[in-house]
Amino acid sequence: MFLKSLPISLNLRRGIILIVTIELIVLTSSLGMWQWSRAQEKWALEESIERMKALPALSMESYLALTNPLERLHRTVLLKGEWLREETIYLDNRAMNSQAGFWVMTPLKLGAKGSVLVQRGWIPRNAQVRTELPEFETPQGEVQIEARISQGPSKMFELGETAPATFNSLDEARSLKIRQNVDLQAFAKERGLQLVGHVIEVGANSQGLRRDWPVPASTAYKNVGYTVQWFAMSLLLAALYTWYQIIKPQRDAKRNLQRND
């Protein structure tokens, strides 16, 4: 309707409609291809996770000997040590099944070999008292855990993000339990820890902590759905152009000729 109101020739108007339609088809098709590539990436990641999980678990010595643990991402590892419960921190704004909560991060001391930061699981937030933390178990004494090498929790956006905070004492550092993110080097420095390896995740739900780790393949089907929607829109645009700019004008012209005859 807008183009019809403009004082331009019929051929120019048709040319503009053709160009706009082609651009929209290219845009929607590109978005469809992007969503399809995202689905393929998630399927490939899930296959990689399953391959690593099928391998025998690394011993603590083998894990500590890795120069780059991320090259063995998702590989299972057996560790033995003691939880440093006083050094536990809680990463805020971490949702699970659409419920707000915290990731619980506790260092595990591996004797004289140093400590490793463990993403132990998830706890829900108290809806009434934001800073109140639910109870969960932290076993005392030596424990053995089966975990997997992880990239660690995703980094959340922070307003006015600057250098890591500095503390006057260890007690002051420990008082800041709830945080948005954790930087391994800064955390090790503020707590006086020798962190080795990389962040690891422990296994099934227990100790009052939930460990329903995200499965990449489970969200890949959302990308497939978006792919279908974008390609369907491309086909619809093509069909509408074909009908209104080619088929319908030809039919109207044919009918006008028949009337004139």
The model's confidence at residue 162, banded by pLDDT at 50, 70 and 90, is very low
Q: What is the mean pLDDT of residues 28-32?
A: 96
**Other residues' Cβ atoms within 10 Å of the Cβ of residue 94:** 19
Which residue type is seen at 74? H
- Residue 18: CB partners within 8 Å, gap ≥ 6? 241, 245
- Bigger pLDDT: 16 vs 198: 16
Is residue 259's pLDDT more than 80? no
Q: Locate all alpha helices (DSSP H) within 65-202, ordered by sequence.
A: 170-175, 184-191
The Cα–Cα gap between 229 and 227 comes to 5
- DSSP string of 41-60, one letter each residue: HHHHHHHHHHHHHHSPPBPH
Predicted confidence (pLDDT) at residue 51 exceeds the cutoff of 60 = yes
Report CA-CA distances (Å) from 216 to 16, 40, 43, 138.
43, 10, 7, 29
pLDDT at position 39 over 90 = yes
Annotated domain spans of the chain: 1-25+37-54+223-255, 56-214
User: Would the pTM count as exceeding 0.85?
Assistant: no
CA angle 224, 203, 209 (to 5 degrees): 95
Other CB atoms within 10 A of residue 3 CB: 12
Percentage, residues of the chain above pLDDT 70: 91
**197's tokens:** 């390896």
More confident residue, 24 or 46: 24
The tens digit of pLDDT for each residue in 110-153 reads 988 899 999 998 999 887 887 788 888 888 999 998 888 888 88
- Residue range 49-56: mean pLDDT, rounded: 87
Query: Confidence class of residue 206 from pLDDT cuts 50, 70 and 90?
Result: confident
pLDDT higher than 70, residue 240: yes
For residues 126 and 168, the model is more confident at 126
Which of 51-55, 114-118, 221-225 is the least confident region? 51-55
Nearest CA-CA partner of 107 in 84, 89, 125: 84
Distance CA 209, CA 53 (A): 22
pLDDT value at 163 more than 70: no
Phi, psi at residue 169, to the nearest 5°? -155, 165
